[in-house]
Structure 1
Amino acid sequence: MPTPSVFASIRQLPIGQGGFLVGEVTDRHSEAFTYAFDCGSINREHFEQGLSLCSYEKIDVLFVSHLDLDHISGIEALAAQVQINTVILPCLDALHLTLIALEAMNAGGLRLSVRSFLQDPAGWFADRGVKQILHIPRGDSAVEAEPFNPDDSSGDDIVAGSEEEGSLGPYTIRSKGSGQPKTVRAGAAQERVLGEETSITVDIGQAVGSPCWLLVPYVHPFPEADLSEFRTLAGKLLPANFSDRAIASKSFTTKLIKLLADESDRKTLKRCYKVLSGNHNKISMSLYAGPHSASEEEMEIRRSDWSFPWTAIAARHQLLVSRNRYRKVRGGAWLCTGDADLNVLETRSQWLRRYRYLIPRVEVFVLPHHGSNNSIHDEVIDHLKDVVMLACAATGRSKHPHPLLLGRLGAAGSGVWQVSEDPESTFAMHVEFNG
Structure 2
Amino acid sequence: MPYLDDIDRMIAFGRSVATGGERSAERFHEDIVVDPVGTMARFGPRQIVMVMPGDEDDGGSGFFELPPAEPPLSDPDGMPWKGRDTTDWGSASPAARRTPDGATVVRRIEFDVAAGSEGGWLLKPHVKQASRRDREAFCAAVEVILRWPRGSFRDKLKIEKERRGLVTKNRTAVSRAYAWAFGDKNETSLSLYSGPAEPRKAGAVLRNSRMFTSARVGWMGTGDAGFKDPATVQRFQDHYRDEIDWVTTFMLPHHGSANNFDPSLFVVGAELFVAAAQPIHSHWKHPAPEIVKAIKASGARFRRVGSSPKSLLEERMVVFWPG
What TM bracket, shorter-length normalisation? 0.7 to 0.9
Contact 1:330 1:360 (8 Å CA) reproduced: no
> Following the alignment from structure 1 to structure 2, what is the Cα–Cα distance between the partners of residues 276 and 358?
34
Say whether residues 1:299 and 2:210 are aligned partners: no
* TM alignment of 1:1-16, pairs within 5 A: none
Q: Tell me by how many angstroms 1:97 deviates.
A: 1.8
Equivalent residue letter for 2:163: L
For residue 411 of structure 1, what is the aligned residue in structure 2?
297
Contact 2:252 2:274 (8 Å CA) reproduced: yes
Equivalent residue letter for 1:200: F
Helix, strand or coil for the counterpart of 1:377? coil
Unmatched 5+ stretches in structure 2: 61-68, 86-93
Tell me which of 224, 241, 259 is aligned to 2:132: 224
Contact 1:371 1:391 (8 Å CA) reproduced: yes
Contact 2:11 2:138 (8 Å CA) reproduced: no
C-alpha RMSD over aligned residues? 3.8
What's the TM-score, normalizing by structure 2?
A: 0.75
Which structure: greater helix fraction?
2
For residue 198 of structure 1, what is the aligned residue in structure 2?
109
Q: Deviations over 1:224-250 (max 9, x none)?
A: 3322332333345685794xxxxx998
Which structure: greater strand fraction?
1
Tell me which of 88, 98, 114 is aligned to 2:10: 98
> Following the alignment from structure 2 to structure 1, what is the Cα–Cα distance between the partners of residues 245 and 190?
20
For residue 180 of structure 1, what is the aligned residue in structure 2?
98
Tell me which of 385, 391, 404 is aligned to 2:275: 391
Change (3 A) 1:98 1:294: same
Q: Tell me by how many angstroms 1:221 deviates.
A: 3.4
Q: Tell me by how many angstroms 1:94 deviates.
A: 1.7
Helix, strand or coil for the counterpart of 2:48? strand
Query: Using CA pairs below 8 Å that are at least 6 residues apart, which structure has the higher relative contact order?
Result: 1
For residue 434 of structure 1, what is the aligned residue in structure 2?
321
What's the TM-score, normalizing by structure 1?
A: 0.58
Say whether residues 1:270 and 2:167 are aligned partners: no
Contact 2:58 2:128 (8 Å CA) reproduced: no
Change (3 A) 1:177 1:379: farther
Q: Tell me by how many angstroms 1:255 deviates.
A: 2.2
* TM alignment of 1:185-334, pairs within 5 A: 191-195=103-107, 197-204=108-115, 206-207=116-117, 211-235=119-143, 242=154, 251-259=158-166, 268-276=173-181, 278-295=183-200, 298-303=203-208, 329=214, 331-334=216-219
For residue 135 of structure 1, what is the aligned residue in structure 2?
50
Unmatched 5+ stretches in structure 1: 1-88, 146-156, 185-189, 243-247, 308-326
Aligned residues: 296
Q: Deviations over 1:301-351 (max 9, x none)?
A: 4149x89xxxxxxxxxxxxxxxxxxx8946221111122222234533322
Equivalent residue letter for 2:46: K
